[in-house]
Chains A and B, each alone.
Chain A
Amino acid sequence: MKIDASKPLEYSTEENSNKIFGFWVFLGAEIALFATLFTVYFVLVDRFASGPNGSELFEIGPVLLETFLLLTSSFTIGLAIHAMRHGYKKAMMFFFGITLLMGLGFLAIEITEFFTYVHEGATLQTSAFLSSLFVLLGTHGAHVTFGFLWGTAILIQIKRHGINPATANKSFIFSLYWHFLDVVWIFIFSYVYLKGLM
């Protein structure tokens, strides 16, 4: 394995830089995936049948909290990568851990929200609008859940092996994924919740 010292650790081998590029391509596919889900949502948003519509269902409080958590976690994963580039293992693990905890907090609120909706009689089966809402939010939430598990696995590897080209590469790719989920959430926040509340 040839290591190019002039590049940051996560880019330092050919394999590493291929992996990062490959992940960008994969994010392209993810954009197509979420674009399709948003399209489905926009097509079905006014078809709420006998069920509630967005303005009857949504509450701004928990959603703001979710947004706050996820946006902040995007900042902390940035700090983790910054620490990683300086070789500060402890600081990196700290910020990485904070990121994952905030992700967990986000999930907790989202799941509570889902229970509230269902409790109010707004289920997956009620209307096309609700089906598309649950699947759009659920797909994002499933991504966050997967991210939490994946991030935990990486965190354990950093603890065991320290910051080396392999773990740095994984962490950097994870940070790209995490930022991407944040971007998707911004669209959900604006076009699902804010627009729905209007």
Chain B
Amino acid sequence: MDLEKFKVHGGVLIYGAMVSIALATLAIIIGLTVFKKWGYLWREWLTTVDHKRIGVMYILAALLMLFRGGIDALMMRLQTAAPEMKFLDAQHYNEVFTTHGLIMILFMAMPFIIGLMNVIVPLQIGARDVAFPRLNAVSFWLFFFGAMLLNISFVIGGSPDAGWSAYFPLASIEFSPTVGNNYYSLALQISGIGTMLTGVNFIVTILKMRAPGMKLMRMPMFTWSVLITNVIIVFAFPVLTIALALMMFDRLFGSQFFTMANGGMDMLWANLFWVWGHPEVYIVILPAFGIYSDIISTFSKKNLYGYTSMVASMVIISLLSFLVWAHHFYTMGQGVMVNSFFSITTMAIAVPTGVKIFNWLFTLRKGRITFTTPMLYTLAFIPIFTIGGVTGVMLAMASADYQYHNTMFLVAHFHYVLIPGAVFAVIAGFHYWFPKVFGFRLNERLGKHAFWWIIISFNVAFFPLFILGLMGMTRRMYTYSAETGFGPLNMVSFAGALGLAIGFVILVYNIYWSTRYMPRDTTGDPWDARTLEWATNSPIPAYNFAVVPTVTDRDAFWVSKQENIPLFKDQIKKIHMPSNTGKPFILGVIFFFFGFFMVFSMWVPAIVSGVGILITLCAMSFDRDHGFYIPEKEIIATEKKLRGETV
């Protein structure tokens, strides 16, 4: 076999990455062995089907990917900080901006949001678990191993280098001969299947497993946003599945979908990609809207203003999200009529989004606002996101877009939308729900330090890019000459990027510090909050609720606290639980190898692992495990212990 194709030549940075991956792996293995944690890891985490643990694993993976993607960002900003920098070469820069985009959207924002929805949604609707716990584990492991497959590309064979949108013909085998874009088509495919299954799982969970009395229009706004998001996932992800499959056929089997000869059509890729890609933006932003809605109403001590219009505007956004894709390529010659149509639909999205902004402002009005860390992120989100939204309307005008297209103005715009719209939201949600999962709050002082670093540095890093874009600096340019005058503002932006890195380091330090020193919360409701997840104990027992709550109103928990209406009316009875299983993890591992062998066109091992996948699925079908019961006594003891009483 030709070993040459596995090697990556790229100097110190690549070898550094290889060494650090090897050392980290070794450290983990030694650590697990020394502390005798292999059994614990397998029993409690790798085989778990508990939605809370799966959610925590999603969030851990997302934090790891945040740092991987963040280092990519720092490298890019360093390379462009001054004219004629020699830090990265053109090829390496291409790989870095490609993986930065892929990782941040698909392997950071998405799993962070899916992690939060895993932890919180079943609790918010008063359910004991998601509808299909084992399928949930399958989803997670497919996502995880898809992410790992993309990450090893950096050191084995080379990363994708045609941009996160991988436009053809650039991404074809002719112009991107390395295996990089093979990784793209397979890693995204594997994790995409996982995401699609998550979509099915949560639609069923939310529609069929709500506690008695929890009508659709009584659901917390986060749950509403997750429901709508999952509908988008179920209808958008199959398009990605097909796009990636066609890409794989073009690159591995010589088909002619996106080629320049034999009738292929390169623009077909751009259309398919963005038919998925634009809804994808709303897949990460709608849940963020839900998180903010819950946080704003909790910390303003008011119910959400315009609940119905909030739901309606999310539904409208989800429909419009499928009708705007061509605004990503106004300049690629589809003519005036088409551009006008997409221009109008794009601008129309600003209307429901504006409704939501005003609803949040009206919720704040005359509220008793407490400035906790999650609330600070939420308050910062509103103006910053509005800048992102307004520049979005500028870009939506097709004729004006000829000026902005593919400049740093666009880069600034989507960072102004996605960072407040998704990243601040998941950080806010992380701080807000952290005490629910772990039983203690994150330190407020450190949290606020991190907040100010992140907010200020974000603007320092990205506002200059608007100006650079208008000056004519295009995106994805690995260097520029001093005469362009782009230097100083790029340097400012680099300083901002460093500040962001400091902010995130403080955030992680806060997790460590709080784990050691923060006092434990025995109330289960540290924020005096409104929705059902706060009605159970923290940390959440495996069965979620000892007794299934009965809901009489919106903000059910708040109403029960105010008016002394009991939420839990039934007696404690034994609870049925699903058993753990190792098969989803094994399935993920086999998928990983299948993907890897496909990337390198190693057909025999690929077929063998493909058969392995079928055998694992078959084994899952023959599984006759019907779960187990937690006896009454054990539930009563757990409940007492979590409330700090002696058993």
Contacts and interface: CB of A to CB of B under 8 A. Distances in A.
Given A22-B201, A44-B257, A127 B262 contact: yes
Interface in B257-309: 257, 259, 261-265, 268, 272, 275
B245 A29 contact: no
Contacts of A161: 624
Contacts of A36: 238-239, 242-243, 272, 275
Interface in A137-152: 139, 149-150
A31 to B, nearest CB: 8
A198 interface: no
B478 interface: no
Given A29-B237, A36-B239, A153-B618, A135 B245 contact: yes
B234 A29 contact: yes
Contacts of B622: 153, 157
B208 interface: yes
Contact of A29 (B200, B272, B576): B200
A32 B235 contact: yes
B203 interface: yes
Contacts of B626: 1
B262 A149 contact: no
Interface string A69-99: 0000000000000000000000000000000
B621 A153 contact: yes
Interface in B226-255: 234-239, 241-243, 245-246, 249, 253-255
Interface in A106-127: 124-127
Query: Looking at B196, B234, B262, B272, which has the most chain A CB atoms within 10 Å of its CB?
Result: B262
Contacts of A67: none
A37 to B, nearest CB: 6
Interface in A44-88: 44, 47-51
A49 B621 CA distance: 45
B459 interface: no
Interface residues of B, number: 44
Interface in A17-56: 17-19, 21-22, 25-26, 28-30, 32-33, 36-37, 40, 43-44, 47-51
A130 B622 CA distance: 39
Contact of B576 (A1, A30, A157): A1
Nearest to B199: A29
A129 interface: yes
A100 interface: no
A154 interface: yes
Contacts of A47: 263-265
A175 interface: no
B600 interface: no
Contacts of B621: 150, 153-154, 157, 170
Contact of B200 (A25, A37, A130, A154): A25
Interface string B461-499: 000000000000000000000000000000000000000
A171 interface: no
B256 A125 contact: yes
B36 to A, nearest CB: 37
A1 to B, nearest CB: 7
Interface string B202-232: 0110011100000000000000000000000
30 contacts: A14-B208, A18-B132, A18-B209, A21-B204, A22-B131, A29-B196, A29-B235, A32-B236, A32-B238, A32-B239, A33-B241, A36-B242, A40-B242, A43-B265, A44-B265, A44-B268, A47-B263, A50-B262, A124-B253, A125-B253, A125-B254, A127-B263, A128-B257, A128-B259, A128-B263, A129-B263, A130-B256, A131-B255, A135-B246, A166-B624
Given A33-B241, A127-B263, 17 more contacts: A18-B208, A22-B204, A25-B234, A29-B200, A29-B238, A30-B238, A43-B265, A48-B263, A49-B262, A50-B262, A125-B254, A125-B256, A128-B257, A128-B265, A131-B264, A135-B249, A149-B618
Q: Which A-B residue pairs are the 9 nearest by beta carbons?
A: A47-B263, A128-B263, A33-B238, A131-B255, A32-B238, A49-B263, A49-B262, A36-B242, A22-B204
